[in-house]
Amino acid sequence: MKLVAPSILSADFANLERDIKAIAAAGADWVHVDVMDGHFVPNLTIGAPVVKALKRVSPLPLDVHLMIETPEKYIEEFIKAGADWLTIHVEACDDVPGTLKRIRELGAKAGITLRPGTPLVDILPFLEQVDLVLVMTVEPGFGGQSFMDDQVAKISRLRKEIDRRGLKVLIEVDGGVNDQTVDRCREADVLVAGSYVFKNDLRQAIQSLKK
């Protein structure tokens, strides 16, 4: 069964504690936290102080997706704040191997991700150093976009490469995931969904993704 990580980008920011407890009660596995800096992506969302506050109230692990430039400057702050999983963009970081190593040393699970336009080969050198690869199926920056079908081949190639190397790396898919597109994510382990979960009955939406 797949893990489901609702993105709180589509939650009510005035009621994050209520919404996180509600998705937990509805069967969610992780909380996906989208961190945007207005530079790597043209949008600003939340920072480490909010992650710290969420950690106090969340019964679920925090899956933090950093859409920020020079993530190496901020990883320590986010892990101290309570990020259980911390994912960086390969395009945003000058020292990818050093940053992934540091994430693990600081006690979090390390993830790497890539924009839809970035080829899979760019992250393959780091597969041994990560616990998770996040495949973006929308251009990062905003919730509520349509799933990009042309990224499905990337999921399959990644699955083959992980299996070929005998690794235990999880594949996470993020962007436009809903009951119509979930079939195309068959080879993923973790599904992120924002608008689909929060605009529908939470339990029904989460369970429809798990099947």
Residue appearing with tokens 């979960």: 197
Residue 37 designated active-site: no
The Cα–Cα gap between 62 and 55 comes to 7
The Cα–Cα gap between 54 and 11 comes to 13
List the catalytic residue out of 29, 37, 174, 189: 174
Residue 34 designated active-site: yes
Q: Which stretch binds ligand DX5 (CB under 6 A): 7-15, 83-91, 124-132, 152-160?
A: 7-15
Q: Which stretch binds Zn ion (CB under 5 A): 30-38, 120-128, 151-159, 203-211?
A: 30-38
Given candidates 45, 65, 89, 100, which one binds Zn ion under the rule CB under 5 A? 65
Q: How many residues line the site for Zn ion (CB under 5 A)?
A: 3
**E-assigned strands of 98-209?**
109-114, 132-136, 170-174, 190-193
Q: Which stretch binds ligand DX5 (CB under 6 A): 3-11, 13-21, 102-110, 201-209?
A: 3-11
Dihedral over alpha carbons 78, 79, 81, 87 (to 10 degrees) = 50
Tell me: does residue 111 bind ligand DX5 (CB under 6 A): no
Tell me: does residue 32 bind ligand DX5 (CB under 6 A): yes
Residue 164 · residue 183 · CB < 8 Å: no
Q: How many CB atoms lie within 10 A of CB 75?
A: 23
Least distance to ligand DX5 from the beta carbon of 6, Å? 8
Question: Which element (helix H / strand E) includes 3?
Answer: strand 3-6
- Active-site amino acid positions: 34, 174
Q: Which residues bind Zn ion (CB under 5 A)?
A: 34, 65, 174
